[in-house]
Amino acid sequence: MLNRKNGTFEVKKTDLLGRIGQLHTKSGIIQTPALLPVIHPTNQEIPPKKIKQIGYDAVITNAYTTWKQIGEKASQIGIHKIIDFNGVVMTDSGGYQILEYGEVEVNPVTMAKYEESIQTDIAVILDHPTGLSSRRDYAKKTIQKTLDASLQTLKIKSNPEILWVGPIQGGRHLDLVAQSAIQESKLNFDIFALGSPTEIMRNYNFQLLMKMIFAAKSNIPLDKPLHLFGAGHPLTMPLAVGLGCDLFDSASYILYAREDRYLTNGGTIRLETLKSLPCSCPICVQYTASELKQVAKSERINLIAFHNLYVLKAEIQSIRQAIHDGRLWELIGAKARTHPKLWAAFKYLTSISKGLEDGTPIYKKKAIYLFSKEDLYRPEVIRHRKRIRKDIQLLSTGNLILISEIDPKPYTSLHISKMLSNEAQFNIPNQIFFISPIFGPVPLEISEVYPIPQSLFAGKLPSYSYIANDLKWMIRNNKFKQIIVICLNPDLHQLMSSISRNFSCKIVDLCTYAKSDQQDVAVDQVSHIISDNSD
């Protein structure tokens, strides 16, 4: 087995911009995507050993708080023993305190040296988060202060085993987020991190958060992990992973527990409203909802916190499985339908399909599912439509024959074999395209290539007007002896009737044979029409 050096990030599987990977550190490997629970260095309500037992191989704690409460003595003990965690430890450096209180009693160089002295595995420089400030001049100052701190830290760091995190600032100012990402990416960081999401999430402005993530992700090296500070919630993690976040940290598990908020994969529920516990984690199989309500407050906080950790762990595992199966888009879509603000964020994905293509495999082992018009803009569909225009060379002579999509797929199945056998006898070459309301024109020659036959649309198919421009492009840019459109769908018939006002098309209406029990009759009709127009 190969030994990987610290900082190596191996990507094993991708979907959208989400990645299953391995980040190598001096204390072990982090399997991504990963959530790092926040651990207080001295006041630990949940024993870190228990967190490790649940399945968390990495946690994050605060070096600034450690410095304030333990001081230089921590250098002799080491952060792993201080928090009693046998795994990967990441340390924040006081940026959160700067966001909350405006300043801290330490400078970037002192904090960097302190983080090295306590032997952390992953260290964050002392950054200046932008927060939710709408003031552009203030956002620029936080970017510059963070950049200055980055330069100072990297200049004096001395332990090559520690991975360093370069924070990206800019807040709601997306162009400044991109600028900060470009500046930080020029420096020798092992990990990059996007700051200031917590306040944005509190306001349910998920679409803004997604835009911030994409602005950062688009401007950092692909071989480096992206961390999202303070964003550990089952509803937002799939979206964030889909846009390229590899690591998260959050104290939500304990913060929710203190307020008797019971976490589910669809959000939080007040314990007082629960009649039963919709979970089978070790906590929920030991207690009923009524019994949990009767437990003393301090113990109840611990129990709910444990439950919340199990839910968050299950969510991360669900995301990994979705990436492995090529179903991350479907998972995100399902989550998005649980809240209107999340749906707005999901719709944002439809506007950046091109940016999601690189991580989306060209071929997948499973079919893609489409549920609404938004799914027509997923990368697999957009990629196919673009490739038809770019890669398919149309004949300059002969007939162009356009046929309504025929079920069941693939189009070359036995029930149209007669049409294909007749094709070999034609004197005039025909170029046959099936017209899919999802993928547009599909050449017969590639009609069995993924994802065309391996796609399922729920309910009524979308209007053919969605692919009108594809059809116009095909007809406008080529010279055929004859264009024959065989319509088994009234919507396509209406569209082609409109298009034929500008282009000469022979439209054959076979819509009366569109029902599944008359498909064979329709195929016979199609075969005769092709044969009659090929002499």
Give the residue numbers marked as catalytic: 92
Q: What is the CA radius of gyration of the chain?
A: 28
Q: What are phi and psi of 250, to 5 degrees?
A: -165, 145
**Nearest C-alpha neighbor of 458 from the set 340, 386, 374:** 374
Phi–psi pair at 485, nearest 5 degrees: -115, 120
Q: Determine whether 318 is exposed, middle or buried from the number of CB atoms within 10 Å of its CB (0-12, 13-18, 19+).
A: middle
Q: How far is CA 236 from the centre of its chain?
A: 10
If DSSP codes are grouped into helix, strand and coil, which group holds residue 457?
strand
Per DSSP, helices labelled H in 326-413 are: 328-336, 340-349, 353-356, 379-391
Strand, coil or helix: 293? helix
Q: Do residues 313 and 217 touch, judged by C-beta distance below 8 A?
A: no
Distance of CA 175 to the CA centre of its chain: 21
Q: Single out the residue of 302, 265, 258 nearest to residue 283, CA to CA.
A: 302
Residue 294 is encoded by which pair of tokens? 């009767």
Query: Which residues, including other chains, have CB under 8 Å from residue 260's CB and lie 6 or more apart?
Result: 270, 271, 272, 300, 304
φ, ψ dihedrals at 100, nearest 5°: -80, -40
3-state secondary structure 177-234: HHHHHHHHHCCCCCEEEECCHHHHHHCCCHHHHHHHHHHHHCCCCCCCCEEECCCCCC
Q: Find residue 88's DSSP bridge partners.
A: 58
> Please, are residues 220 and 272 in contact by the beta-carbon 8 Å criterion?
no
Partners of residue 248 on adjacent β-strands? 35, 228
Whose CA is closest to 108, among 91, 119, 95?
A: 95
| Residue 14 contacts residue 361 (beta carbons within 8 Å) | yes
**Is the dihedral angle over the CA atoms 270, 274, 277, 278 positive or is it negative?**
negative
Distances (CA, A) of 419 to 15, 401, 412: 38, 12, 9
Q: Which amino acid is at 144?
A: Q
Strand (E) or helix (H) holding 286: none
Which DSSP string corresponds to 224-277?
A: S-EEETT---TTTHHHHHHTT--EEEE-HHHHHHHTTEEEETTEEEEGGG-SS-
Q: How many CB atoms lie within 10 A of CB 184?
A: 25
